[in-house]
Amino acid sequence: MSYATERRTNPTAWAAFWVGLAGLLLMPIPLFIGFVLGGGLSLVATVLVVIALFKGLARSGKGIAPVVFAAIFVLLTWGGISVGGGILW
Which one is predicted more confidently, 61 or 39?
39
pLDDT for residue 89 is more than 80: no
| Domains in the chain: boundaries | 24-82
Whether the CB-CB separation of 23 and 45 falls below 8 Å is answered with yes
Backbone φ, ψ for residue 64 (5° rounding): -80, -30
User: Tens of pLDDT along 1-36?
Assistant: 555 556 678 899 999 999 999 999 999 998 889 999
3-state helix, strand, coil in the chain (%, to 5): 70, 0, 30
Q: What is the pLDDT of residue 39?
A: 93
